[in-house]
Structure formats: structure tokens, C-alpha cells
Amino acid sequence: SIFKLPNETALRNWTSTVNGEPGFFIDVFEALKTLKLDNRDCNLVLDAMSIKKQVIWDKKAHKFIGYCDFGGQLNIEGSETAATEALVFMLVGLTGKWKIPVGYVFQNKLNAMCQAQLVKAVLTLAHNSGLRVWGVTFDGAVTNFSTFKILGCELSNNVENCKPWIKHPVDNSQVFIIPDACHMLKLARNTLGNTLVLESPSGLIKWNYFENLHQLQTEMGLKFANKLTGVHIGWKKNKMKVKIAAQLLSSSTANALQFLLDNNFQQFKNSEATIQYCRVIDQIFDFLNSRNPFSKGYKTPIFRSNIGILQDKIIPLINYLSTLKYKNQLLYMTNKKTFIIGFTAAVKSMFEVSKIIFTENLNFKYILTYSFSQDHIEILFGRFRQRFGANNNPNVMQFKTAMKQILLKNAIKCSNNSNCNTFDEDITLSIFSFTWPSK
């Protein structure tokens, strides 16, 4: 027998029913209500993606589009300002089984007060869908920190004094904030790369040790078991790539510097403080980026049995960051404090979230901190850009088309040259993945 496929027009009409307009996707939240109870713990990720500043005519809607559009979520409609960014909200399941965008707005430098209203709106919708949002992940933009300060978050460089949570707008439960570890890692690299010298209790942290290591490896034609290249030294041309920062401030780089120091290479004399800085940043990043349940060391997941052990290891590393100075002034008291405040909040949040989850839900065996990473939304952005042939700045129409395609059927592949790598399997689900689950 021959199975006849629907006509092209019928398929086009069917797919056009998916709502990809700015605002929050009610269809997605309705679909999320079908999740099993043990899959409803999740994390909210938000980030802005640059789009082309262009006002174009929408034939279907019979109007010009390309202006700021908040989907009726804010009382500032009618703005004639052309949009330059799309602020996207995404929910990621903590069990690693699902993630899906739940809304977006077109904006032009949205202020913290308006962004706070959007955060409360998405938390309310998620709660009404039966989801438990444990945290909110964001990057190091000033607007983001201001947003959560407005919502009641109190950040500090001190773990004890830091209160990295806000009250849920519906049930007043704690929603923890997790500044993205990848962005904090890049800021730690940027701070040293721009200042060239930082001060620590064990000595001076100097950028030129990395330059000396690269020069020595180039002259000898071999590497001391590290990935340092000229790209890492000239990082400003690739400052958005996470792996460039991770490979520079890594244990392998620290081991190479330690080997050369132990073997009395004069250009690496007094490099102990730089080696320590590399190891501390690397270990904090590993803890906040665990993605394998069988990993060991600092990359191990958080279990009920190892929370105390991990706290004894990680908290001293955070305390070390508070001792760093620049020109005899404590670094956390300067405008270069973001990565210190961010790492402190992220570490405190992860331990607090884990304790509450393990207390309330006996079915949770472990927690992978990668579930709270911003990589998930960065990979989504990579797919949006790839949708139109590696187009880094799609216009509003192209963005809507890509979003609808993701919501309908996630068939866009991410480029290997994007800002972050794709580590997990493709679990960005479409609406129909929830509507018609496999048996």
C-alpha cells in the first residue's frame, strides 16, 4: 500500500500554527505540564543574542517589524526604537532529559527594572505549569546583576555573607542565582590579561609567564603537555571562546610552569603565585562544570555523601580570590570584581541547592552542575546563527523563523566554531516531543 503524504500547502499551514512571536510561549508551558513528576525540577537560563538592527515589512502581518517588542509582557509597548538584541529565556531539566526555549523579547538595552519583571513573569508561568525552578543562570553583564539586586539578591565576596537567592513571586520559595561559570572564567582570564600583574599572598601573578612559556615551546618545537598557542596569548581576538580561556588557566598549563620552575629556568623564577592562580581558577571551574556522573576529583557530581568534602575543598579556593589585589587595592573592591563575586555566588548557590534538593527529594542520586550552565542557551544561539548559513546577526524575521523551527522540530545543527562546545546529546526538545512522547 502507498501512504500519501500531505500536500505542501497543508504542511505549510500546519507548521504556521506554531507561535514564534515575541513573548512567552503558552503552548510550550502547556506541553511542559505533561512531564512526569520526577522530571519537573529545572533551571532557568537567560541571555541576549545580538540581531541585525533592521526594520522590514512583514507581508503576513501587514506591518513593519524590527522594533522593540515585549510580547505584551511590559507596559512600554509602542516603542519605535529598532531592536538590537533578542533576550531569550530557556528552561533546562536537572535530570538532563530536556531543555526548551520558553520565550523571548526583542530589545534595545533593556534596563534592569524591566528585565526583573520578565524574570518574575517566567517564574510564575513555570510554577503554574507544575515546574520547580531552582535557579537562574546569567552572564556577567551589569544589567543582570542589577536585575537580581532589585529582586532581593545580596551578593558578596564572602561566602558566609553572600545571599545568592531571590524569593519566588508565587510561593516565596528560594530561587538561587548562578552566574555562568564559563563567563566568570573568561573574566578571570581577561582581568589578568589586561592588568598583566595581580598580587596574592604568595607573590605576584604575572601574565608574562604565559608569554615566556609560549616563546620557549615555540623555540624548542615541542610542548610541555599543554595546549598553549599564540591564539591564547593574543586572546583579545578570540575573547568570547570559552576553550581559549579554559586551556590557558588550566592544570596542564600550571604543571608546565611548575616543571620549568623546578628545573631552574630563569624566565620562570618566582612563578609560584601564577601557578596557584591557574590551579584555583581551574578547580573552581571544574566544580561548576561537572557533566559526567562518573567523574572524579573536582569534576565529580554532588552526592549526598560528598557535599561536606567538596565544601572543604572549594570554599578555601573562593576565600583565596578575596585576597587578590591590584595596585595594593583588594580586587573585589574594584571594577574588576565581577568574576570573584560571580564565582562566590555560583559556588554558594550550588551547595545550597544541593542540600535542599537532597532533603526534599530522595529520588535525586546526584546533581551535575553543568545543568546550571549557560552553555545550553549558547548552543541554541549557535543553531539560530547556523540556520541561515553561519549568519551571526539574523534580523527579526530570520530569528522568528529559526525559533519556530526549533519549537516545531529541532533540526538545526550547531557549528563547531561557536563560542562553546556541544558536550551533551541533542536534548533540545520540540513541542511535539512533549505532546507525543515515545512509549
User: What letter does residue 69 receive in the DSSP assignment?
Assistant: B
Q: Do the beta carbons of residue 392 and residue 418 sit within 8 Å?
A: no
pLDDT tens per residue, range 173-190: 999 999 999 999 999 999
Domain ranges of the chain: 21-139+374-435, 184-339
**Which pLDDT value is given to residue 79?**
65
Residue 29 carries which side chain, given as an amino acid letter? Answer: F
Q: Which amino acid belongs to residue 240?
A: M
Query: Closest Cα partner for 137 from 186, 92, 84?
Result: 92
Helix, strand, or coil (residue 240): coil
- pLDDT of 430 reads 62
SS3 state at 13 = helix
127-182: pLDDT as tens digits: 999 999 999 999 999 999 999 999 999 999 999 999 999 999 999 999 999 999 99
DSSP 22: S
Cell of 322: 578575596
Q: Strand 165-167 relative to strand 203-206: parallel, antiparallel, unpaired?
A: unpaired
On whether the CB atoms of residues 135 and 126 are closer than 8 A, the answer is: no
Task: Supply the pLDDT for residue 437.
Answer: 45
> Residue 27 is placed in which grid cell?
503552548
Dihedral of the alpha carbons of 58, 59, 60, 66, in degrees to the nearest 10: 0
Q: Count Cβ atoms below 10 Å from residue 137 Cβ, excluding itself.
A: 28
CA atoms of 327 and 40, how far apart (whole Å): 48
pTM for this predicted structure: 0.91
Structure confidence at residue 76 (pLDDT) = 63
| Alpha carbon distance 369, 354 (integer Å) | 10
The pLDDT, as a whole number, for residue 439 is 38
Q: Show the low-confidence residues of the chain (pLDDT under 70).
A: 1, 75-79, 410-439
For Cα atoms 412, 414, 420, give the angle at the middle one, nearest 5 degrees.
150
Is residue 102 within a helix (H) or strand (E), and if so which, with residue range?
A: strand 99-107
Residue environment code for 334-353, b if the CB has 16+ CB neighbours within 10 A, otherwise e: eebbbbbbbbbbbbbbbbbb
The grid coordinates of residue 8 equal 505542501
